Structure 1
Amino acid sequence: MDNLESTIFQIILHGGNGKSSAMEAIMAAKQGNYTAAREKLKEAGEALNQAHTIQNSLIQGEVRGERTEVSLLLVHAQDHLMNAITLKDLATEFVELYELLKLSKVDT
């Protein structure tokens, strides 16, 4: 495996970890465990930041004139990361919504 492939797999790995943590946050919030949900959202954010940092290194390399060969694997990594970021954003909304629903039940 060459250096570029290794870098691409790191994006996929961290993106996948972020996506999994985001899903775990939704599950925890659904069960009423908002502390765990927020911790999972934090984990998701950290994993996605790692993936994004790696992605940025590829982009900065291109800006410096270091051409990156666009492969199906790179496209998959980009797609995987962007979907994971979207899921984390939605998970944040879900956690907040579950908590609001819980609070509204307490008020009635």
Structure 2
Amino acid sequence: MNESEKRIMGLISSSGESRAKAFEALQAVRTHNYESAHKLLEESQKLDIDAHNVQTKMIQEELGGNKIEVNLLMAHAQDHYMTAQLSRDLIEELIKIFESRDMEE
């Protein structure tokens, strides 16, 4: 595995972990454990930042003349990254809705 593939795998790994933490946060809401849900969302966001940093570095390198090969692995990594971001954003909003509803009761 070359260096570029290792970075792409890092992007996939961070994104997948980010998405998993977001869904764990949503599961915590089932038991009304909002403290845990918020902590898991913070962990998800940190992992998302790790993925973002990998992606940004690769973009900067390409802008600097180091052409990045776009292949199925890279497409897969971008898919994971976008899905993780969307999942976290949506789950964060769902948690806010459930939390506010529980406060009203």
| TM-score, with length taken from structure 2 | 0.97
Match of residue 46 from structure 1: 46
Cα displacement (A) at 1:29: 1.5
Contact 1:30 1:98 in 2 (8 A): no
Higher radius of gyration, 1 or 2: 1
Matched, 1:68 2:37: no
Cα displacement (A) at 1:98: 1.1
Deviations 1:3-42 (A, max 9, x none): 0110000000000000000001111122100000000000
* SS across alignment from 2:70: coil
Q: For residue 63 of structure 1, what is the amino acid of its counterpart?
A: L
- C-alpha separation in 1, matches of 2:53 and 2:92: 21
Aligned CA RMSD, in angstroms, stands at 0.6
After the TM superposition, list the runs of 4 or more consecutive aligned residues in structure 1 that deviate by more than 4 angstroms.
none
**May I ask how many residue pairs the two structures share in their alignment?**
105
Match of residue 23 from structure 1: 23
Question: 5+ unaligned residues in a row in structure 1: which ranges?
Answer: none
Deviations 1:47-79 (A, max 9, x none): 000000000010000110110011000000001
Question: 5+ unaligned residues in a row in structure 2: which ranges?
Answer: none
* SS across alignment from 2:77: helix
Cα displacement (A) at 1:100: 1.2
Q: For residue 96 of structure 1, what is the amino acid of its counterpart?
A: K
| TM-score, with length taken from structure 1 | 0.95
Contact 1:19 1:44 in 2 (8 A): yes
- C-alpha separation in 2, matches of 1:77 and 1:9: 7
* SS across alignment from 1:20: helix
Aligned-pair identity in percent equals 34
Contact 1:21 1:43 in 2 (8 A): yes
- C-alpha separation in 2, matches of 1:61 and 1:11: 16
